[in-house]
Chain A
């Protein structure tokens, strides 16, 4: 008779302990599953984006395969002079899609200075024009070019 209640209370204690462990398991397991599905939930965004920004500054003038990645301009003598003087108002795409001789580039620069608020380029003028005629010279096209870059595909009708 004496043994019975103490055995019962031991069972109860173990039972309570197990319940607590079980609850903890459910809670931690649940949060792990939740985390797996919503990885955003426990992160602190602001700090991470700051970290990212720092590592980028050093890379903004990165060159890959002879191309200045930020602007798409060809890496050659005078590149940074062109980047610093010619990509403030308009994108470098306006440079890279054009092909002109020295006369053409000079006329364009003069036009930008007279009408588009481009500053006096001083000694940089020659550096810029040399860079442009060397890297972006005219290509002969004649009266009509052949079709190039045709992407062939089977036409089903």
Chain B
């Protein structure tokens, strides 16, 4: 009897297991079921980005940080915004990588391997603030075309490389040189090989600054692919589009460089200020150079609720393009009164500066903490939007966070 019972049970259970197996198999199918439309690669894994980064565009990749993700003094890769004009290159072989120096104003056209660059020239490390020219574009009214950056298209990482000046001088700069223009390997979105995704540059005076690097390391490691591996031009304090990624050629030009995104309205603002919405002819648009004074409250995250009687410690960073930040203040009454924050000296020229303050709130209620930085030319951030421009660049209006005291 007992044996028969046993057999019966095992038979039943194996049937059950069989059915179970079918169900398991079915559920496995569901797990593997990924709609074709969602099969885009996961940018957070692909680029090692913090899960709270905001994807503005996935072709080309454009991803921004939120203010509280930028709290580190030196921005880690995980919080660095991504701004691409073309397609991220694939299959890069650093061993075969070369950099060509050419152009109308080069004395001797030269080609360097990456290894030659690293061994022939001395290495330098700087913390450099790179902010997208269009950071803050989303606030302009009438709206401006392009990726609608809010506050997070800025970072200050530590870059290591050789000075662009040393390399340019090794090839020789003719006296009629005006500008440098970079060329890179990223493909144009249309995949048209005759088109460059972006080829910008800067005047010779910026190119020969101590801090203008041909970088091969970021935060002490190989530059992540999406940020320009294996070689990136880094020109702190200027629109980040000057800091070309995946650079394989730099031309010393006898004219203002006329590559992709140098001409027309790209990275340009009206030479004369205009009324909101006004049409501006291309010839009346001027190239953006140094970025304006700006700051960001990176702690606490907007939305903090604190108890009455508690002090709120705030901190953040301030930067001013080619200049230094001399003062930063906060206001909790929409600009009626301002109180100075502590501000540190920059780690080096063109690095952002860290500020902090402790705030007492007089009574319970809804508050906004506004921060306002002033540069060494005594120019402060505006509380409202700065001058409207057709492409929505250079919004350096004060940053603010919401706080409730209860």
Contact = CB atoms under 8 A, between A and B. Distances in A.
A143 interface: yes
A69 B36 contact: no
B59 A144 contact: no
A13 interface: no
Secondary structure at the A interface, as helix, strand, loop or mixed, is loop
Given A56-B35, A89-B190, A151 B303 contact: yes
Contacts of B195: 117
Given A60-B37, A91-B59, A98-B146, A39 B10 contact: no
A39 B60 contact: no
Nearest to A148: B402
The interface size bin for chain B is: 35 or more
B28 A93 contact: no
A138 B10 CA distance: 70
Contacts of A134: none
B377 interface: no
A93 to B, nearest CB: 5
Contacts of B339: none
Contact of B59 (A48, A60, A90): A90
B17 interface: yes
Interface in B382-402: 383-385, 397, 400, 402
Interface in B21-66: 21, 24-25, 28-29, 32-37, 55-60
Interface string A113-157: 001110000000000000000000011111111010011111101
A154 B310 CA distance: 12
Interface of A: 25, 28, 32, 35, 39-40, 43, 48-49, 51-53, 56-57, 59-60, 62, 69-70, 89-91, 93-94, 97-101, 104, 108, 111, 115-117, 138-145, 147, 150-155, 157
29 contacts: A32-B17, A39-B24, A39-B28, A43-B25, A48-B32, A49-B32, A52-B32, A56-B36, A69-B35, A70-B37, A89-B190, A91-B59, A93-B57, A97-B57, A98-B146, A98-B148, A100-B143, A115-B264, A138-B141, A141-B143, A144-B384, A147-B400, A151-B302, A152-B303, A152-B305, A152-B404, A154-B305, A155-B300, A155-B304
Given A99-B143, A100-B145, A144-B397, 11 more contacts: A35-B21, A40-B28, A49-B32, A52-B32, A59-B36, A69-B37, A90-B60, A93-B57, A100-B143, A144-B139, A155-B305
